[in-house]
């Protein structure tokens, strides 16, 4: 069995791409024992380290999921931290697929581990979306409802699992630079400049910065933080929309949308 380096075991659901990949990299570098579940094996390991294990499973399949969760506990022991980064990859507004992937599978996995946490430092983190609280034209209805549900799951589980000393929070990233989207934004100078203008901090955030917040929530430094939806968008969502639109119009910004 691999050494539990700092004694903490973290499971990342959906840890081979985007924010999930950054979380795996960061926690592994902090000497967590990291278990990763993904629908497909990574084309290359997220990180070359002897403290990271990968499992493949369709988390919407109950039998497959429970089998893999049992293997993880048998191999790596009780959990300290559970992070949900999975996304439904369907192309249409597939209500059933989105709800099953984002909410039902999450509920099933959380409830499996309720009595399999090391309660000395236990935390659950959901990765949500701005679409969970604001309407976004390009995102389908099912996506909005599922992400809104994560916000409520964080609150509900924070209250019901608090007596077990399990903290539960949700991080809510805005539009950020990920490995699979970074080139698109950096090469599209006009769009990249637009984002820098509307974000109070004057730049786009990165997947690594989201991972930093998740790492904080998976540490004893956040020992009294639970039930929170933490927005990570450089301040763009706290602006008054009408004022922002007026300011952009005054600068000559035009859009056909």
Three-state SS for 136-179 is CCCCCHHHHHHHHHHHHHHHHHHHHHHHHCEEEEEEEECCEECC
Give me 152's structure tokens: 């409520």
- Name every residue whose Cβ is closer than 8 Å to that of residue 22 and which is 6 or more positions away in sequence: 207, 208, 210, 211
Catalytic pick among 112, 138, 143, 156: 143
CA distance 203 to 74: 44
Residues linked to residue 172 through DSSP beta bridges, in sequence order: 231
Rounded to 5°, angle at Cα 203 from 193 and 190? 10
143 is catalytic: yes
User: Are 83 and 214 spatial neighbours (Cβ–Cβ below 8 Å)?
Assistant: yes
Of 72, 75, 45, which is closest to residue 59 (Cα–Cα)? Answer: 72
Whole-angstrom distance between the N-terminal and C-terminal Cα of the chain? 55
Q: How far apart are CA 51 and CA 31, in angstroms?
A: 7
Catalytic residues: 143
């Amino acid at each position: 069995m691999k050494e539990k380096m700092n004694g903490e075991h973290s499971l990342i659901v959906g840890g081979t791409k985007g924010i999930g990949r950054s979380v795996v990299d960061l926690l592994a570098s902090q000497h967590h024992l990291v278990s990763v579940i993904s629908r497909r094996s990574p084309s290359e390991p997220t990180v070359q380290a002897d403290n990271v294990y990968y499992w493949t499973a369709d988390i919407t399949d109950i039998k497959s999921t429970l089998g893999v969760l049992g293997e993880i506990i048998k191999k790596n022991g009780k959990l300290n931290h559970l992070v949900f980064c999975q996304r439904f990859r369907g192309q249409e507004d597939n209500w059933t697929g989105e709800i099953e992937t984002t909410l039902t599978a999450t509920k099933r996995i959380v409830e499996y581990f309720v009595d399999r946490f090391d309660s000395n430092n236990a935390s659950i983190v959901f990765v949500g979306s701005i679409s969970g609280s604001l309407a976004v034209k390009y995102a389908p209805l099912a996506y909005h409802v599922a992400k809104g549900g994560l916000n409520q799951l964080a609150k509900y589980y924070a209250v019901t699992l608090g007596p077990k000393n399990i903290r539960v929070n949700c991080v809510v990233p805005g539009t950020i630079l990920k490995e699979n989207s970074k080139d698109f934004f950096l090469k599209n100078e006009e769009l990249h400049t637009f984002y820098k203008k509307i974000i109070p901090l004057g730049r786009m955030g990165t997947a690594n910065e989201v991972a930093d917040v998740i790492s904080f929530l998976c540490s004893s430094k956040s020992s009294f933080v639970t039930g929170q939806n933490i927005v990570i968008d450089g301040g763009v969502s706290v602006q008054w929309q009408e004022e922002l639109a007026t300011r952009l119009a005054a600068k000559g910004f035009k859009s056909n949308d």
